[in-house]
């Protein structure tokens, strides 16, 4: 796997929850979406098939987006109008030399910074340098769990804010986990 597809260490994530099946992952995303107020950046890491897109589909439902939400694997950017605009990006197939300006990223970041939109990005590493000064930035890490339908989700974010979010979404602190 190329370095630009690196996945962060699980040890860097203090909050964890397990979903069993795609419906539970979508429900987690929906609850996340329902609580967003604009300006949030959500970085999604995890191997292919972890459920990152599934979680964003739920997030869109939580923001009253009713139409089809599809993976931006090939389009790189999908935008959905809802209670807040959702920009769903996936940089897995971004060619390394592609200027981010060419795919409208600067306009997207302006809209997010203004609080009119939220940003959810799969394989976000090419974007990280552009996120300086943006807040809050939450990071989710999806990993395969013990069972075939189990996914473990790690969460990290700004002190205080991430703790609140974790509590609302049913994440447990790493030290409190039974497994």
Ligand X SMILES: Nc1ncnc2c1ncn2[C@@H]1O[C@H](COP(=O)(O)OP(=O)(O)O)[C@@H](O)[C@H]1O
Kindly list the residues in this chain that would bind Mg ion in the complex (CB under 5 A).
Answer: 52-53, 71, 122
Q: With beta carbons less than 8 A apart as the criterion, state whether 123 and 92 touch.
A: yes
Q: With beta carbons less than 8 A apart as the criterion, state whether 54 and 25 touch.
A: yes
DSSP code at position 74:
T
Radius of gyration of the chain (CA): 15
14 binds, among ligand X, Mg ion, none (CB under 5 to 8 A by kind): none
- Facing residues of 44 across strands? 122, 140
Give min distance, CB of 148 to ligand X, in A: 7
Q: With beta carbons less than 8 A apart as the criterion, state whether 8 and 150 touch.
A: no
**Interface positions with ligand X (CB under 6 A):** 19-22, 24-25, 46, 48-54, 71, 122, 142, 149, 151
18 binds, among Mg ion, ligand X, none (CB under 5 to 8 A by kind): none
What phi and psi values does residue 90 have, to the nearest 5 degrees? -145, 115
Give min distance, CB of 90 to Mg ion, in A: 6
The residue at minimum Cβ distance from ligand X is 51
Cβ distance to ligand X smaller for residue 15 or 45: 45
The residue at minimum Cβ distance from Mg ion is 53
85 binds, among Mg ion, ligand X, none (CB under 5 to 8 A by kind): none
Give min distance, CB of 83 to ligand X, in A: 22
Q: Report how far apart, in Å, the C-alpha atoms of 124 and of each of 52, 66, 91, 155 are.
A: 12, 25, 6, 15
Is the Cα dihedral 161, 166, 167, 173 positive or negative? Answer: negative
Cβ distance to ligand X smaller for residue 69 or 105: 69
Cβ distance to ligand X smaller for residue 30 or 151: 151
DSSP code at position 11:
G
Give min distance, CB of 173 to ligand X, in A: 21
Cβ distance to Mg ion smaller for residue 52 or 151: 52
């Amino acid at each position: 796997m190329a370095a630009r597809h690196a996945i962060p260490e699980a040890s860097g994530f203090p909050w964890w929850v397990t979903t069993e099946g795609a419906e539970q992952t979508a429900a987690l995303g929906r609850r996340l979406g329902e609580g967003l107020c604009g300006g949030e950046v959500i970085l999604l890491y995890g191997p292919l098939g972890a459920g990152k897109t599934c979680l964003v589909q739920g997030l869109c439902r939580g923001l009253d987006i009713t139409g089809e939400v599809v993976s931006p694997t090939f389009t790189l950017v999908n935008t959905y109008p809802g209670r807040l605009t959702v920009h769903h990006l996936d940089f897995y197939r971004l060619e390394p030399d592609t200027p981010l300006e060419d795919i409208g990223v600067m306009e997207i970041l302006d809209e997010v910074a203004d609080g009119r939109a939220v940003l959810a990005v799969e394989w976000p590493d090419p974007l990280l340098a552009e996120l300086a000064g943006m807040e809050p930035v939450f990071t989710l890490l999806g990993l395969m769990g013990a069972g075939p339908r189990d996914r473990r989700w790690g969460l990290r974010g700004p002190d205080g804010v991430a703790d609140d979010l974790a509590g609302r979404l049913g994440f447990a602190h790493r030290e409190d986990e039974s497994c």
